[in-house]
Structure 1
Amino acid sequence: MITDCIRPRLPKKFETFYFFRITNPSLFKTHLAQLVNFITTADDAFKMRETVYRKKAAGTLEGLLQLSAVNVSFSAKGLAKLGAEAFTDDVFNGGQYQDMTYPEGKQDPAKHQGLDDQHEWYHHFKPRNGWIDGVFIVVGESDASVQKTIKNLVERTFGVGQNQPSMAKVFTQSGHVLPDDREHFGWVDGLSQPVVIGLDDLEKKKHLNGMKPIPAGVILVGGDQDTSITPKWAKDGSFMVFRTYEQKVPEFIGWCASNIERIKLEGKMPPSDLAKEELRRFSSRVMGRWPDGAPLELHPVKDPSKILDQEPNENARKLKELWGADFEKNWKMQEDTNHTDDFNYAQDDQTKCPYASHIRKCGPRDDHPFYNKHLMLRRGIPYGDLTLIPEKGGGVSLTERGLLFVSYQSSIHNGFRTVQKEWANKTDAPDDMTEQCGGSAPQGIDPIIGQVPPHHRDDDNGVKYKEPLPQVNFPDPSKPPPPENSRTVGLDRFVIPRGGEYFFTPSISGMRDYLCKI
């Protein structure tokens, strides 16, 4: 078991990302040395999770344990201030603004290599507002615990608000877990995480048909089968991608409804039960899973869950009424069915899960050769309030909400960058399925996070595209999918990138023995 690395798999309900700028590098090193003993390692995280599981199994978990934990990551600019030997990774060194934003006017394309609209980024992440040197990630069972840890541990240690601070707060972003671990569109999030040899208990993660365990070097720098050339001090660290994605929930629901012929014919809201069923089927094909998590590849026709209410807080309550004293047992059985990772896709076949679905575009499994080298640990958390029925019915978002996306990988290029830029953003990726999609066009961009250049977006409505709309290949939800489906639908835009940065999360020894040295 690898225990020296900072473990990103922490039990959490609330999480705050505290972005900072180093103002006194030598004093910061001294302060960092004081903090190192409080940073959560893989071993600490494992023990914390085992305590939670043990208490749950024994029936002695009353409420939430009083837990909080802190980790730290640095941008290339922050590491340079600390005098660290630099990485030769141009993607990391250039930063996310260079890698992910689209050039405007006569701007140098080498300085803007992506498709994000610069105007949609929060100003905190833009270089002209000063670089972000690092981020503290503080998690806990309550917002009060998180804020207490920030004040009493992070800010006090680094002298924030005192006479000799070594850093300045740039800004914070906070998230919290939603009911049933869902993201804002309503789907259970965080499923199908890779099993990492040396980090995970392989006996508990056995499955026949799902993703196979991956070597540690896919996630940890210098780990088994990591062939990259990196500084010695970086061993057992991991590159961390942070990215804010705003989610337009009412607009997503409205777009899905606009593609249901039965809803158009009925012309009424709320739609009939049959129309609702088709709406759920279509939106689940967009995602590649049913909302409770069951993969379409195993359950292509019917959602195996007993109840799925439109109101996010209602599911557990109605199931408790339905199952009574058997709630815990039946809930566990339903969860095991829905959260299984024991599946793979039928290659050259989308009659169960469409090639264009979000999870198949971003996680093609055996569809794509050497898929395992592009895996990453995803550790995002939602932010903002739930979308309740009145706002959904209005069709327009009244408040901002979304996902604070976090991923860990030994190579940003192999991990996040490949998934977003090479797979999600391209119509014929991860592999060209034109022939299987009827022969006239490939499957299309990822309908959730796929991007087109900003000038293809509607000037007056940020969730719309100009004609011709980007097309994605989806079968009619009222009919069984044909072997070769040629039906396409035009996309709207439901996820808006609001900025982020690339960081490196060093191991405990990397900080103690190298970054803290003056």
Structure 2
Amino acid sequence: MAPPNKENIQGDIWPRLSKKHELFVFFRITDPQLFKKHLAVLVPNLTTARHAEKFRSGIYKKKAEGTFQGLVHFSAINVAFSAKGLAKLGAEPFNDDVFNNGQWEDLTYPLAGDDKTKHNGLDDQHDWFHQFTPRGGYLDGVFTITGESEKTLVDTIKSVKQAFGVGLEPNPNDKTPPADPILDKPSIQLVFQQQGHVLDDDREHFGWVDGISQPVVIGLDTDAKVEEAKKGLKPIQAGTILVGGEGDQSNHPAWAKEGSFMVFRTYEQRTPEFVAWCGRNTKKIATEGMTARAAGELRKFSSRVIGRWPNGAPLELHPDEDPTPMEHPEPMQNKKLLFEKWKKEGKDPEAEYKKLELVNHTDAFTYDPEDQTKCPYAAHIRKCGPRDDFPNYERHLMLRRGIPYGPLTEINEKGGGVSQHDRGLLFVSYQSSITNGFRFVQKEWANKEDKPVDFTDKMGNIAPQGIDAIIGQVPPEYREEDNVTKYEHPAPVANFPDVEKPVPTPNKHYIPIERWVIPRGGEYFFAPSISGMKEALCK
């Protein structure tokens, strides 16, 4: 089979759109026939995989040469459609009930009196932003817009609005007939938008470098990357991500080839509450207060919950000590102090930090299913990316493209233990099958105590390892009524080996967990190829 056509694939799918700021603009189609004409105007301006690859390569080259200075102006646009949006455009439908029925039906939990067949998940309906719910009206699509600044986002969305006739009020004094009256009428209604921004060092709000382990795609990534990937997260066939690609066994319409299903989810993150819970489970803090030794234990415990140290180093390779020298517990303050230290020592701080990144950002590891003395079975990255714990795990991989939203958590807010601002992650993933990708990871691995593999026998036959402490879910009635982050007693538990002593085998250290990541809703979309839009959606 020929490799995927990079000129035909939308760039956020692969290699991803460059971004410092990102805007998701959700819309409803009000005039399908007019929308098709408007979409035909937009399609030539969409950012393809080839465009995104060239831009990113240019940036990497300048950085390697030491000639990169400041921010480079750029903007990018992609578009995706829900099943309802595609139906309005008359596209041949997918034979996929999960996509066709939408995320509300797939991921929310039924209320009393609800038809249980219409609610197949564990999200609390009350937590969802109303714009994502049926009562808010269904979403037909989303524009994904990225740029180096907020001003660029404003300018770019203005051009998109113009392409779809939004906000173009006719001048009553202008008697000249428009060149094309069709383009002076809106074909969409803008429903709402969500905006994110990249944090320093690509961190998410809990403080960990995010997006390190991304699957390498055969036929899109270089042969060198494919070979390197064999040391860790296995390279995947293009059909794992792209409809109709090598290895895709689905029977989707021909127009959908080289498109990808896009999952969008808004996850609120309760950072102070997460930090407080980690502190309560750090024994030295209780006995010594926040000494340097207690802070080190806190860092180690929280890293075991995630499965990596905050700067990214995997516990499987660095189980006992973070390879990043610690001058300060706050990551960015630590980086600043390290740069000052290296400069005093006559070293090039940028070069020294790059050496650390090579160590921290490595993906060249896998897990031993017989052992959790390094990375716990219940760690977030092990639950959601089990590697050799789970045979053929690579068929469930997806490309993640999320971005944080909201302000950083300052020290005073962390110390108070209660979130004072809305912050979190605008999660995006791409896959050729939502069932095999996002849905499998969330429902079959993260939400189940004994998955991806039941390790009960490795823990004294007491219980399995537990749900994912970060994104795992239990039914809403397990929640405390007055506190969104707490569970009623008994709370769900997860197995995390005690950090104070060598990890015992079998390990019997179970800890009640809390709820620091709250799903606020989302939708399932499909990001078509350029040819798919031209041939099926613009006619």
Are 1:161 and 2:182 an aligned pair?
A: no
Q: Partner residue of 1:306?
A: 325
Describe how 1:32-431 pairs up with structure 2 within 5 A: 32-151=39-158, 153-162=159-168, 164-205=185-226, 206-266=228-288, 268=289, 271-307=290-326, 309-324=328-343, 325-431=347-453
Structure 1 residue ranges (4+ consecutive) displaced by more than 2 angstroms after TM superposition: 307-313
Q: Is the 8 A contact 1:311 1:388 kept in 2?
A: no
Residues 124-172 of structure 1 show CA distances to partners (whole Å, capped at 9, x for unaligned) of 0001111000000000111111111111x21010011125100011000
Q: Which residue of 2 aligns with 1:5?
A: 9
| Contact 1:310–1:389 (8 Å) recurs in 2 | no
Q: Answer whether contact 2:216 2:225 (CA < 8 A) is retained.
A: no
SS at match of 2:102: helix
Structure 1 CA distance for aligned equivalents of residues 147 and 110 of structure 2:
39
The separation in 1 between residues aligned to 2:327 and 2:249, in whole angstroms, is 46
Question: What amino acid is aligned across from residue 7 of structure 1 in structure 2?
Answer: G
- The residue aligned with 1:514 is 536
AA partner of residue 166 (structure 2): V
**Counterparts of 2:329 and 2:21, CA distance in 1:** 24
Aligned counterpart, 2:482: 460
Describe the superposition over 1:167-195 as per-residue Cα deviations: whole angstroms up to 9, x where unpaired. Answer: 01100000000011100000000011000
Question: What is the deviation of 1:313?
Answer: 3.5
Query: Counterpart of 2:167 in structure 1: which amino acid?
Result: G
TM-score, normalised with respect to structure 1: 0.98
Q: Distance in 2 between matches of 1:313 and 1:432?
A: 38
Equivalent residues, number: 513
Structure 2 unaligned blocks of 5 or more: 170-184
Do structure 1's residue 469 and structure 2's residue 491 form an aligned pair? yes
- How far off is 1:477 after superposition? 1.4
CA contact (8 A) 1:307 1:318 kept: no
Quote the sequence identity (%). Answer: 61
AA in 2 matched with 1:65: V
Task: In structure 1, give the amino acid aligned to 2:25.
Answer: Y
Moved more, 300-309 or 482-491: 300-309
Q: CA-atom RMSD, angstroms?
A: 1.0
Aligned mates of 1:253, 1:283 — CA distance in 2: 8
TM-score by length of 2: 0.94
Conservation of the 8 A alpha-carbon contact between 2:37 and 2:538: yes
| Offset from partner CA, 1:380-411 (integer Å, 9 cap, x none) | 00000000100000000000100000000000
Distance (Å, rounded) in 2 between the aligned partners of 1:204 and 1:491? 38
Structure 1 CA distance, aligned partners of 2:106 and 2:383?
Answer: 21
The residue type equivalent to 2:196 in the other structure is G
The structural deviation recorded for 1:311 is 3.3
Helix, strand or coil: the match of 1:77?
A: helix
Contact 1:195 1:202 in 2 (8 A): no
Alpha-carbon distance, 1:204 to partner: 3.5
Q: Deviations over 1:86-121 (max 9, x none)?
A: 001000001000000000002111101000000000
Matched, 1:494 2:516: yes
Q: Distance in 2 between matches of 1:436 and 1:309?
A: 36
| Residues in 2 aligned to 1:314 and 1:147: alpha-carbon distance in whole angstroms | 32
Shift of 1:482: 1.4
Between the aligned partners of 2:489 and 2:122, the Cα distance in structure 1 is 18
Distance 1:108 1:258 in 2: 41
CA contact (8 A) 1:294 1:340 kept: yes
Deviations 1:350-384 (A, max 9, x none): 00000000000000001101101000000000000
2:502 counterpart letter in structure 1:
P
Q: Deviations 1:312-341 (Å, cap 9, x if unpaired)?
A: 532332121011141111111100000000
SS in 2 for 1:413: coil
